[in-house]
Amino acid sequence: MDRSAAVAAIFEPVQPPTTFEETVERLGTAIKVGLLPPGTRLPPERELADELGISRSTLRQALTALVQSRMLVAYRGRGGGTFVAESPPLNVDSEPPDDPWMRAVLDYRVAIETGAASLAAERAGEDHLAAMTELVQVMADGAKPPFEPYRRADIRFHIALAEAAESPRLVAAMTEVQGQMSELIAHIAHPEEVLTRSNEQHRELVAALGRRDGATAVTLVRQHLAGTEHILAGLMPAAREV
């Protein structure tokens, strides 16, 4: 594949700890803006993983998420490989959120959720942890379509985090920001690979809260939110031209 400087930048190494999500964002954005046109064949897995500086398993997860989002197609056998779909879902009829509003929501979410995680690590009771653990299992059972049962449990999980902080104001703020996040998430596909990975982070967070490990809990939440931002950036369609 011939590469301009812009295309070459797509394949520069991604940075941990959000290598999976950043890879989805990098490739998804390149497809949306036309740097990887329909029909483009991606480099072989080993070569692409080396270029991006990630493991082949992480790369496969990212490619699977993009296939599930209908941005890529994969073919086996002679002449096979991974290709940009001929008609990737690049546009939506409804107007996507403007960038300043989306940035404001995502920043607000960081402030609310990291604060809730810090307090929850100090205050969470066994009933809080049990409720969050149950919701993790609900999401594990609901990672495949339809998305709605997973999302309902996801919203309830994040509100349960605020409840574990034992702060009514944080519960109200978390409820507000989850409603706003639902507006953003409604504009993108919901690949099973992304949901499964996200829920594993939920599971790790509950374990950190159970250990009263506030530093790890906050770090996990920050990584979780950063991953969501990468996924939104990679999969958010562009506004339809009129």
Q: At what angle do helices 45-52 and 56-68 cross, to 10 degrees?
A: 110
Average pLDDT, the chain: 91
What integer pLDDT is reported at residue 240 of this predicted model? 54
Whole-angstrom distance, CA of residue 155 vs CA of residue 193: 19
Phi–psi pair at 83, nearest 5 degrees: -125, 150
- With a cut of 70, say whether residue 227 has pLDDT above it: yes
Residue 242 pLDDT grade (very low, low, confident, very high; cuts 50, 70, 90): very low
What's the gap between Cα 151 and its chain centre? 13
Q: Per residue in 60-96, pLDDT tens? A: 999 999 999 999 999 987 778 999 999 887 655 556 7
Give the chain's domains with CATH numbers: 5-89 (1.10.10.10), 99-239 (1.20.120.530)
For the entire predicted model, the pTM comes to 0.86
What integer pLDDT is reported at residue 9 of this predicted model? 82
Whole-angstrom distance, CA of residue 21 vs CA of residue 197: 10
Q: Per residue in 139-179, pLDDT tens? A: 999 998 889 999 999 999 999 999 999 999 999 999 999 99
For every residue of 44-58, DSSP letters joined together read PHHHHHHHHT--HHH
Residue 16 pLDDT grade (very low, low, confident, very high; cuts 50, 70, 90): confident
Nearest to 23 by CA among 78, 82, 89, 80: 82
